[in-house]
Chain A
Amino acid sequence: MSSEDVSRIVEEHAGKPGGLIGILQEIQARYGYLPPDALGAVAEGIGRSLTDVYGVATFFRSFSLKPRGKHLCSVCLGTACHVRGGAVIAEEFGRALNVAPGETTGDRDFTLETVNCLGACALGPIVVVDGHYFSNVSPVRVKEILEKARNGLDNVEVTTDQRIFPVEVSCPRCNHSLMDPARLVDGQPSISVTVVFAGEHFRLHLSCLYGSYNVESEREIPRDALADFFCPHCHAHLTGGSNCLECGAPMVPMIVRGGGIVQICSRRGCRGHLLDLSGGMQ
C-alpha cells in the first residue's frame, strides 16, 4: 500500500457527501481489503477519529480488514437459499477449500464467505464467484465451480456454461423494455440501445446473459473508446451511473425486470459491471 494512493483517493472525495464509505470502497477495490495503515491515513485525511473509521469499516460486510484471496466465493445463506440447501453448499465449499467461511486459503487463492440474500432467490441456492452468478447449485457442482474459477471465469465458453442467467432490462426513465426479440445474441433476445460514437448514431445489441460480454454493433467501436448510450424509445441519455470500478468510466444503469439495477461500463471492451438486485425487490 502506498500512502500517496490513499491520500489521492481521500482528496478526490473531499467535500463529497457520504465520503467515508466511498473512500473505503475505493481502497477496498484497489487492494482487495482495507489495510490497517490505510484506515489510519483515511482518518487523518478526513479529520475523523480512527475509532469512527474503524467502526464503519467493521460495520459493513463488504469491507474486509484481512487480505482476501484472488477469487472471492460467496455462498448465499439467505432464507430462500437456506431452505434449498445453502448451508450444505457452504459446508461443501469449506471442505473443498479447507477453510471456514470468512477465511482465506493458505495459498491466497480463494476467500470463502457466506452472505445473506443476493437478491436472486428464485434461482437459489446462489453462489457468486468473482462476480459471476451460479444458480441452482448442488454440492456435486462445487468442485467444478472452483475449477472454473481457477481457470478464470471470464474465459470460460459462454454458451455451454450454465452459470449465466438472462436478465431482462428496461430504460430507467421511460421503463420501456430494451429487449429486442428480433435480434438474437447468444441465442437470446438482445438488449438493444442507441449509441452515439464519433458523431454517429447507431444500434448496439448486447447479450442479455449476465456474465456474457458479447456485443453486436452496426458500426465498429474501437477498443477502450467510450460510447454514449441512449434509450431507443424515449431517447433519454443512459450513461451516467456510478463510475466503473475497473476503469473509472461512467456506467450505464438499466432496470432489471423483477427489481434491481444492472450497470455496465460504457468503455468498449471493459468488463466492469455491477448488479444490484436487492434494492428493487418488492
Chain B
Amino acid sequence: MITLTMNGLPVTVEEGSTLLEAARFFGFPIPTLCHLEGLTPYGACRLCLVEVGRGDKAKLVTACTYPAADGLVVRTGSSRVIRARKMILELLLASCPQSKVIQDLAAAYEVRQQRFRQEYEDCILCGLCVRMCEEQMRAKAIGFRGRGERRSVGTPFDAPSPACRLCGGCMYVCPACQLRCTYHEPEKAICGSCANLSPPCLEKREFDDLMCFMAPCVACEIRKG
C-alpha cells in the first residue's frame, strides 16, 4: 500500500494505482476526456492535470498516467490547476466546438468563450477510438497515421479494412463524433442532439456535407451492408 497526501488529506491506495484512480476513489473530482476505464491511459488531452510537489518544485502532471507514489503531495483543484484546465478547455473549444462532450466539460468549468482562431476539427486525436479498436475489439482496424499537423486517425490507405468488425465501438467512444448532432452546419457550435433523435447521417442520402471523422464511415458501411 502507498500513502500520499491528496488535497491535504493523507490517503492510502494500492500499489500501481494512478493519481486519477486514487482521486476518484476518495471522491476528488478530476475531469477527463481521453481516459476511459478499460483502456490504457494515454495522456493526450491533458485535461486531468493535477499539481504534485511543494512550493517552487510543484509541477503539473496528468493524473491519468501518473503513478501514485509514497509521500507524494497532490492538489487536484489548486488555482494553478484550475487555470491550466480552463486554458486546455479553451483550446479544445477552439479546435472542436461542436463536440457535446467538450461543451459539457467547458460549461462545468464556466468557460464560455475561447480566445483562439476558431477551427472545426473532425478529430482531436484523443486516441480513444484507436485504443478501443485495439484493446477491446482486438481488431486494430484503425490507427494513427502521419505525424505533426498531418496526424490523423483512420484505416490504412483509407480503404475499408477487412479487420474492422463494424462494431461501432470507435464512434461510441469518440468525443468528436458528437459533432454529427450539429447537422450539416458546422459553424453552429450549439449541439442539436436533443432535436435530432436519430443521427442525420442515417437519414440523408448524401453524406458529403455532413462532418464525419471516418472515411470510410462505419455508419455508412453498416447501412450499405
The residues of A with any CB-CB pair to B shorter than 8 Å are 36, 39, 49-55, 58-59
Contacts and interface: CB of A to CB of B under 8 A. Distances in A.
A54 B143 contact: yes
B109 interface: no
Contacts of B157: 36, 54
Contacts of B125: none
A229 to B, nearest CB: 37
Given A49-B163, A59-B145, A59-B147, 20 more contacts: A36-B157, A39-B156, A50-B156, A50-B161, A50-B163, A51-B141, A51-B142, A51-B143, A51-B155, A51-B156, A51-B161, A51-B163, A52-B140, A52-B143, A53-B156, A54-B157, A55-B144, A58-B146, A58-B147, A59-B146
Contacts of A36: 157
Interface string B134-150: 00000011111111000
Contacts of B156: 39, 50-51, 53-54
A33 to B, nearest CB: 14
Indicate the member of A36, A52, A53, A55 with the most B CB atoms within 10 Å. A55
Contacts of A53: 156
Interface in B106-157: 140-147, 155-157
Contacts of A54: 143, 145, 156-157
Interface string B158-183: 00010100000000000000000000
15 contacts: A36-B157, A39-B156, A49-B143, A50-B156, A50-B163, A51-B140, A51-B142, A51-B163, A52-B140, A52-B143, A53-B156, A54-B156, A58-B145, A58-B146, A59-B147
B140 to A, nearest CB: 4
Given A36-B157, A39-B156, A49 B140 contact: yes
A102 to B, nearest CB: 11
Nearest to B133: A51
Interface size range on B against A: 10 to 19
Contacts of B143: 49, 51-52, 54-55
A158 to B, nearest CB: 39
A58 B146 CA distance: 5
Across the A-B interface, give the 8 residue pairs with the lowest CB-CB distance, nearest first.
Answer: A54-B156, A51-B143, A49-B140, A58-B145, A58-B146, A55-B143, A50-B156, A51-B140
B156 to A, nearest CB: 4
Contacts of A58: 145-147
A58 B144 CA distance: 9
A54 B144 CA distance: 9
Contacts of A51: 140-143, 155-156, 161, 163
Contacts of B142: 51
Task: Count chain B CB atoms within 10 A of each CB in A36, A49, A51, A52 and give the residue with the most.
Answer: A51
Nearest to B157: A36
A182 B142 CA distance: 61
Contacts of B140: 49, 51-52
A58 B155 CA distance: 12
A49 B146 CA distance: 16
A113 to B, nearest CB: 14
Contacts of B155: 51
B96 to A, nearest CB: 22
A55 B163 contact: no
Contacts of A55: 143-145
A49 B135 CA distance: 13
A53 B140 CA distance: 11
A36 B158 CA distance: 12
A183 to B, nearest CB: 46
A199 to B, nearest CB: 51
B44 to A, nearest CB: 15
A118 B170 CA distance: 40
A100 to B, nearest CB: 15
B142 to A, nearest CB: 7
Nearest to B156: A54
A58 B157 CA distance: 10
A44 to B, nearest CB: 12
A62 to B, nearest CB: 12
Contacts of A50: 156, 161, 163
Contacts of A59: 145-147
A54 B145 CA distance: 7
Contacts of B141: 51
Contacts of B163: 49-51
Contacts of B144: 55
